[in-house]
Each structure stands twice: as structure tokens, then as C-alpha cells.
Amino acid sequence: MTLVLSAAFGGDREPATTVTAAPSTTAPAAWWVSPDEIPLGPAVLVIEGLRIEDREAVVDFALFDLSPVGPGSFREPDYHTSVPLERLAEEAAVAPQSWTLITAAGEIPGTTSSPRGRTARFPLPAGDLPEVLGLRLNRYWMRIPYASEVGLPSGTVLELDDGLSLSMGRVIPQTNSTIVQIDLFGGGGFATTSDPGAVLLGALGDGWTFTSGRTATGLQLVHGPGEVPDPLLFAVRSAYWVPFDRPVLIDVGALRLG
């Protein structure tokens, strides 16, 4: 590419100056896992294929965190409990939920059942799949971690998160200890139904001799001799699931019919 530049200084006209520049080039797009990956916040989505199963079209996909976190433990100097953080290794930070399969005969809605699901299912009432033109991801959720310390007075209900609450259940005196049942009530939404390890609780303060992991109804604590504190103090670590209604179009080339 050749550029011709001219300038005037004082009363005399300067001769034109010719500058030759090399033609610009575009570097190939970088990718993390696959050239067909779709960025979704802190993760990438890779479509693995399309198949027919029991009068449903099934899209298989994989999710990869760009900054994966390995298993760890939940422990601080004044926490009695230590809770494994297995969920951080098992779950990506992004969870697709609502999809649309675009075909020559129209659009077919589909869903992924939970944050741990890795398929999107589209019902086919006639059992046949029309020509596929593309795929659209309509809604996905992103996990935003948080940590806090909370107090739970007896006889009250504490709202921990959207649709999740905490209360003190049965208090059972023993000879040299007291058992305290902590009840958790969930909202049952997409991001909580199949995510039982989402909230991690650690009892704070002196006197606690045992803290169970999450049970079907909540948490069980054992306090040694002396009065059980009121309010009960907890360290809470969890994550908000934030929905994103930002449609993402996926080219039909990523859908390999298997």
C-alpha cells in the first residue's frame, strides 16, 4: 500500500513525500480447546454432536473453565468443620439451560435439565428430524462466588440466598453435649435442584465438637458442655447463579449428526 503525503511549511511548498507500507495481515483466531468453541463468560462451550434418541433430538456438549479450580477443603483457623469443595472440580462456572434447534420446518425448543447436564434435548412429536439449519442458546447461568459470616438467632428464619433459607431446628440435650439440627430450605429452581453442594456452612466460635456435612435436610452440630450460643454464628461460602438471556447463534457446521 502506498500513501502520498504532502505538507507546506512557510512560503515554499515542500515536495510530496511517498511512504510505502506493508499490507496488513490478520492473525488466525486463537482458541483454548477447539476451533469450534463458543466463549461463554469464563468458560467455553464445545458442541460434540447431534443424535436421535427416543423421539428426541439430543445435542451433546462439553464445558471447559478457562481458569479451572481443583478440589480443596473448607478450613479456617477458627472453623471446627472442614467440608470438601468437590463441586468446584465437578462443575463449570457456566450452565446452559434454554436452547432452540433451527430447522427447515421451524424452530424446536429444548432444555438442559440442570447445571450438571451436558445434553440439550428437543422433543420430536413426529419422530423425524427436519433439515437442521442451526442452533441457538437462549439462556445460560453463570456462577458468581461469595463468602460471608451470618448470625442465626433461635426462632428465626435467615434468608441465605435467592430461594434458600436457614433456621434452627431441634435442639437435643445430651449428658455432656447438645445436638443442634440446622434446617435448610431450598427454592428448587434450575440452579439449585441438582446442585446440593452449593452452600457450604462452617460453625464459628468455641464449644463445637462436631459438624456434619450437608444432610438431606440441612446440617447437624454437636456442642460440648455449656450453653449453646444464641445467635449461632456461621461462615457461609457459596455462589449466586446469575441468568443471562443473551442468545448465542451456533453454526450448523458444529452439529455433526451421529
Instruction: State pTM to two decimals.
Output: 0.66
Q: Are 103 and 129 in contact (CB under 8 A)?
A: yes
Q: Which band of pLDDT confidence, cut at 50, 70 and 90, is reported for residue 162?
A: low
Query: For the ranges 25-34, 105-114, 215-224, which has the lowest average pLDDT?
Result: 25-34
Whole-angstrom CA distances from 168 to 122, 185, 203, 231 are 43, 11, 13, 10
126-149 mean pLDDT: 87
Q: Quickly state the pLDDT bin for 82 (edges 50, 70, 90).
A: very low
Report the candidate in 158, 144, 143 with the shortest Cα–Cα distance to residue 234.
Answer: 158
255: helix, coil or strand? coil
What does pLDDT average to over the chain?
A: 75
- Give the percent of the chain with pLDDT over 70: 68
pLDDT-derived band at 208, boundaries 50, 70, 90: confident
Counted residue by residue, the chain has a size of: 258
Q: Is the pLDDT of residue 250 over 80?
A: yes
Confidence of residue 227 (pLDDT cuts 50, 70, 90): confident
